[in-house]
């Protein structure tokens, strides 16, 4: 009975992630004005991020339906590959100059990608258990963190913009699926920017 109750709670949590994805800031690509030197490279970054978002969201929907761990692992490998391809692209255009609107555009797309990855992690934890899924989650986290780190190298100050978009509810969801490196990054940036850190108590963290 306890196991059933836990499974029900986790499934409700996974469902809530769909609403988080829908509630994420909606980028308006057709309204962007990418200006100045490096405009072409910035446009490539945005377009590639849109493509990555589409792929990861689609993968999350499919993986959530899998009941076979081998199928999950194979699908996650594709997600990781997609993330690394984008991370490599980002690093090739490091130092590109983009305006605030473009930074916000990419950050909003990235937030949807993060929510989709959280959905993947939550769904597999609910089906297979946390201990079985830790390696899968770690693999996803490494690839996701690489994307974030490379975007910060490419666009100085990007991480600040990105973290500001993450709500307390989303941060708790990230923590619940053991994406610990992402949580630490968000907390560190919140502290640096003097943002609200009351959520630390709910996460069991201390400054």
What digits encode the pLDDT tens for the residues 11-68?
444 444 444 444 444 444 433 333 444 468 889 999 999 999 999 999 999 999 999 9
Residue 200 lies in a domain: no
Alpha-carbon distance of 79 to 158, in angstroms, equals: 23
Nearest-angstrom CA–CA distance, 192 and 30: 33
Q: Are 147 and 175 in contact (CB under 8 A)?
A: no
pTM given for the model: 0.81
Structural domain contains residue 195: no
pLDDT, tens only, 81-134 = 999 999 999 999 877 888 999 999 999 999 999 999 999 999 999 999 999 999
Instruction: Please tell me the predicted confidence (pLDDT) of residue 202.
Output: 58
What band does 196 get if pLDDT is binned at 50, 70 and 90?
confident
Neighbours of 164 (CB within 10 A): 14
What total of structural domains would you count in the chain? Answer: 1
- Split at pLDDT 50, 70, 90, the class of 205 is low
Q: Higher-confidence residue: 130 or 10? A: 130
pLDDT at 21: 45
Q: Say if 7 falls within a structural domain.
A: yes
206 within a domain of the structure (yes/no): no
The verdict on residue 185 lying in a domain is no
173, 199 contact by CB (below 8 A):
no
Residue 97 inside a domain? The answer is yes
Q: Give the domain range for residue 153.
A: 2-166
Q: When comparing pLDDT for 27 and 162, which is higher?
A: 162
> What span, in angstroms and rounded, lies between the C-alpha atoms of 71 and 136?
12
The C-alpha atoms of residue 94 and residue 32 are separated, in whole angstroms, by: 20
Question: What confidence category does residue 203 fall into, taking pLDDT thresholds of 50, 70 and 90?
Answer: low
With contact defined as beta carbons under 8 Å apart, do 178 and 121 qualify?
yes
Calculated CA dihedral for residues 189, 192, 197, 201, nearest 10 degrees: 80
pLDDT at 164 over 60: yes
Q: In this predicted structure, what is the pLDDT of residue 95? A: 76
Give whole-number Cα distances, 140 to 31, 82, 165, 175, 182, in Å.
Answer: 32, 11, 21, 14, 11
Closest CA to 122 of 35, 42, 193, 18: 18
Please give the structure tokens belonging to residue 188: 């560190």
């Amino acid at each position: 009975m306890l196991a059933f109750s836990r499974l029900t709670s986790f499934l409700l949590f996974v469902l809530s992630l769909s609403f988080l994805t829908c509630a994420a800031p909606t980028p308006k690509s057709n309204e962007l004005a990418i200006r100045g030197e490096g405009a072409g490279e910035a446009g490539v970054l945005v377009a590639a991020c849109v493509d990555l978002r589409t792929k990861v969201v689609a993968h999350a929907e499919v993986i959530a339906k899998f009941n076979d761990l081998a199928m999950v692992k194979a699908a996650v490998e594709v997600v990781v590959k997609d993330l690394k391809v984008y991370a490599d692209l980002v690093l090739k255009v490091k130092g590109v100059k983009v305006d605030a609107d473009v930074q916000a555009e990419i950050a909003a797309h990235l937030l949807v990608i993060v929510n989709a990855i959280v959905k993947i992690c939550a769904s597999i934890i609910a089906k297979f258990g946390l201990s079985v899924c830790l390696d899968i989650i770690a693999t996803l986290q490494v690839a996701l963190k690489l994307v974030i780190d490379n975007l910060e190298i490419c666009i100085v100050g990007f991480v600040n913009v990105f973290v500001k978009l993450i709500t307390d509810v989303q941060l708790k969801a990230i923590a619940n699926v053991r994406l610990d490196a992402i949580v630490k990054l968000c907390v560190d940036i919140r502290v640096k920017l003097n943002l609200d850190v009351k959520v630390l108590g709910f996460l069991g963290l201390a400054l």
